[in-house]
Amino acid sequence: MGLTLTEKILRPHLVDGSLVPGEEAGIKIDQTLTQDATGTMAYLQFEALGLLRVATELSISYIDHNTVQIGFENADDHRYLQDVARKHGILLSRAGNGICHQVHLERFGVPGKTMLGSDSHTPTGGGLGMFALGAGGLDVALAMGGQPFYLTAPRVIGIHLTGRLSPWVAAKDVILEVLRLFSTKGNVGTVFEYFGDGVGTLSVPERATITNMGAECGVTTSVFPSDDITRRFLESEDRAHDWIELAADDDADYDRVVTIELSSLEPLAATPHSPGNVKTVRSLSGLHVDQVCIGSCTNGSYRDLAVAASILKDRIVHEDVSLIVAPGSRQVLENLARDGYLTDLIAAGARIDECACGFCIGNSRSPGSKAVSLRTSNRNFKGRSGTPDADLYLVSCETAAAAAVTGRITDPRDLGMTFPRIEMPAAFRVDNGMILHPADPDDDAGLKIRRGPNIGPPPTGESFPGNINGKALIKVGDQVTTDHIMPAGARMKYRSNIPRYADFVFEPIDPSFPSRARAARDEGFQGIIVAGLSYGQGSSREHAALCPMHLGVRVVIAKSFERIHAANLVNFGILPLVFVDETDYDAIEPGDLLDVPGIRSIIANEEALTVHNRTKEMNFRAGFNLTERQRWILLAGGALNLVRKKKGN
Ligand code: MIC
Ligand code: SF4
């Protein structure tokens, strides 16, 4: 049997373990990226590990999330990031240069390389043929220090694309179809690998829309081959030298193959409140729309905004709609200006935003109460926009622009227009003027790092206790996201101040959680979170583990976990347990006292344990699927503690 593309990239990068699906693989990381909302903690941990220069081929720090800057905190973080990058050998993309994933695709991504990023949409790089994964900041800090990244060797599902998209149907509709087929649950430990003649009909930014939003399925990553289209894209970016050809063997051994005939697709929308609730746009047509937001790392490319501009040309935005357009990068904005599309957007009444995450992360442009907002981004979790009762629909740029004109959800095929097919420019206007370079290694010793008052040291956990004398602090349902655990939006300015950010743990579900957790901790209990399926979906933010740890949480018992969050829990000394019998979930109530005596030797030697519910006088079994390495991390009270112990500091 031939090799998948995933195997072809991973084999030469394997430095420890095995690539047999389900086993642990340690892979060498060629490139890392961070963004400012996760980056400050990642670099604070990098410093705490005593690391000096990065050991990767390329490490870059992007400033793209917290650019609204209400108060001094974010600007202080940005200054810290700039100093740390200069000192430790890291490139820095300044605020205004664009969203990390879009800029990386344009300027730095290289087919065949591995990349780890402290952002769950790092798989965007798969559109260029990279093996690119999201992780918590601590894992990225370790990779910057040259350590392998450990993951469960994935099973590979082949997604066979045939044919060509019909006019008005977009790459966004392809990934929405994938979400409809696979849902947001049950895909942990899987890679989606795209192949087939349909691949050659999609440009690199279109492929990147698909790999970007694969994150919503919970897969490890998604990857496209590197072919002639990739070569032409790199040429247009003045980077032809970075191209190599890469594809799976014709007889590649996929775990399963799913075929999508592109011409059979139609415009789709993810309806509130999950990217997996996919319906046809036609079935929703007529619904009144209050806001349309075009941009984000999913659909912020030149092609995306040019298509929207062409639909809006010589029209005016409907009087009931507020249209926000946030270009994915400065390069996109400059080229839209060069080619006249920006003028069309402005003339139509679009509100042009900064090239940044902006509306997508809910720190600006929140819609009105009970508003309907159509967005080209990737997440529509409840409250994500900053408005708790708004309804978010995720759509293509074609569908978004159609609604901006009509004021209602409209299948763009019903606009009665000729489809504006956008050709990718043969050459983009490119410049790296907003990229800062690190100091020469010989000159970095005396460089000072400025730290504002909001920036504290990264907290270190305590060794795992000998016995769990725990209290169930909260019981949550299925698909609780990291946005529920650790809200973003206006709260993001506390990302580098853990004690303050911890005041908002579970704010959207139960704002009394932090005070109850602190009280339980002061009474001598370890905090326990009880959860349903796919706990920790969404963002890679390690704060969803770090802040609960700060409040004394030591165990989460769930029906299942998402990959990045489960790894983050272990990294911060919290034991992720899975119910052996899911019906035991029903018997636990918040406030129950849950005991596990002798837990240290259980973590060291077993794979399951018995929890005694002291309040209900009953027992239940829970399992944990941990590697040897993870057991040591947990016992040490977290990865930072373990590395420090090994180094003897
Ligand atoms: C997101 O889209 O949720 C974010 C904000 O980009 C996060 C990272 C973060 O929480 O800082 C992600 O996707 O990992
Ligand atoms: Fe930024 Fe949104 Fe992309 Fe996250 S999903 S990186 S917030 S644009």
Ligand 2 pocket member 378 (CB < 6 A): yes
Ligand 1 pocket member 119 (CB < 6 A): yes
pLDDT surpassing 80 at residue 212: yes
CA separation (Å) from 536 to 180, 196, 218, 383, 602? 20, 33, 10, 16, 25
Once rounded to an integer, what is the mean pLDDT over residues 444-459?
Answer: 89
pLDDT surpassing 60 at residue 278: yes
Angle, CA 167 vertex, CA 162 and CA 170 arms, to 5°: 65
Ligand 1 atom with the shortest distance to the CA of 483: 3
pLDDT at 528: 98
pLDDT in tens, 107-151: 999 999 999 999 999 999 999 999 999 999 999 999 999 999 999
469 C-beta neighbours (distance < 10 Å), count: 16
Evaluate whether 150 touches 25 at the Cβ level (below 8 Å). yes
Evaluate whether 361 touches 538 at the Cβ level (below 8 Å). no
The CATH topology of domain 468-647 is Aconitase; domain 4 (3.20.19)
Percent of the chain scoring above 90 in pLDDT: 94
pLDDT at 645: 78
Ligand 1 pocket member 488 (CB < 6 A): yes
pLDDT band at 193 (very low <50, low <70, confident <90, very high): very high
Residue type, 512: S
pLDDT in tens, 509-528: 999 999 999 999 999 999 99
In angstroms, what is the span from residue 35 Cα to ligand 1's centroid? 9
pLDDT in tens, 543-556: 999 999 999 999 99
Ligand nearest to the CA of residue 356, numbered in listed order: 2
Once rounded to an integer, what is the mean pLDDT over residues 588-617?
Answer: 97
Ligand nearest to the CA of residue 542, numbered in listed order: 1
Mean pLDDT over all residues of the chain? 96
Of 119-128, 375-384, 436-445, 592-601, least confident by mean pLDDT is 436-445
pLDDT in tens, 286-312: 999 999 999 999 999 999 999 999 999
Ligand 1 pocket member 551 (CB < 6 A): no
Say which residue the tokens 């415009």 belong to.
Answer: 267
Give the CA count within 13 Å in the CB-facing half-sphere of 276: 15
Percent of the chain scoring above 70 in pLDDT: 100
pLDDT at 116: 98
User: Which protein residue has the closest C-alpha to ligand 2 atom 7?
Assistant: 361
**CA diameter of the chain:** 72
pLDDT at 446: 82
pLDDT surpassing 70 at residue 648: no
Ligand nearest to the CA of residue 297, numbered in listed order: 2
Ligand 2 pocket member 119 (CB < 6 A): yes
Selection from 500, 508, 529 nearest residue 517 by Cα: 529
Domain 268-414: give its CATH superfamily: Aconitase, domain 3 (3.30.499.10)
Ligand 1 pocket member 539 (CB < 6 A): yes
Ligand 2 atom with the shortest distance to the CA of 100: 6
Mutate to test the pocket of ligand 1, among 40, 299, 541, 543 (most ligand atoms within 8 A of CB): 541
3-state secondary structure of 516: helix
In angstroms, what is the span from residue 375 Cα to ligand 2's centroid? 12
In angstroms, what is the span from residue 295 Cα to ligand 2's centroid? 10
Q: List CB contacts of 416: < 8 A, sequence separation 6 or more.
A: none
What's the rounded Cα separation, in Å, for the pair 504 and 66?
Answer: 18
Mutate to test the pocket of ligand 1, among 100, 121, 217, 504 (most ligand atoms within 8 A of CB): 121
Cα dihedral 457→461→463→467 (10° resolution): 160
pLDDT at 423: 86
Evaluate whether 348 touches 266 at the Cβ level (below 8 Å). no
pLDDT in tens, 27-84: 999 999 999 999 999 999 999 999 889 999 999 999 999 999 999 999 999 999 999 9
Q: What is the DSSP letter of 2?
A: B
What's the rounded Cα separation, in Å, for the pair 563 and 616?
Answer: 31
User: Which protein residue has the closest C-alpha to ligand 2 atom 1?
Assistant: 357
Mutate to test the pocket of ligand 2, among 97, 119, 120, 375 (most ligand atoms within 8 A of CB): 119
Ligand nearest to the CA of residue 540, numbered in listed order: 1
Once rounded to an integer, what is the mean pLDDT over residues 341-353?
Answer: 98
Ligand 2 pocket member 361 (CB < 6 A): yes
pLDDT at 460: 80
Q: List CB contacts of 231: < 8 A, sequence separation 6 or more.
A: 240, 243, 245
Ligand 1 pocket member 37 (CB < 6 A): yes
Ligand nearest to the CA of residue 100, numbered in listed order: 2
Ligand 2 pocket member 297 (CB < 6 A): yes
- Give the domain ranges of the chain: 5-264, 268-414, 468-647
Mutate to test the pocket of ligand 1, among 35, 119, 496 (most ligand atoms within 8 A of CB): 119
Per-residue b or e along 418-450, where b marks 16 or more CB atoms closer than 10 Å to that residue's CB: ebbebebeeebeeeeebbbebeeeeeeeeeebe
pLDDT surpassing 60 at residue 649: no
Once rounded to an integer, what is the mean pLDDT over residues 442-449?
Answer: 84
- CATH 3.30.499.10 fits domain 5-264: yes
pLDDT in tens, 625-635: 999 999 999 99
DSSP 104-129: HHHHT--TT-EEEESSTTGGGGGGGT
pTM of the model: 0.97
Selection from 143, 148, 138, 149 nearest residue 44 by Cα: 138
pLDDT at 444: 75
Q: Tell me, yes or no, if the two domains 5-264 and 268-414 fold the same way.
A: yes
Residue 627 has which token pair?
């590697």
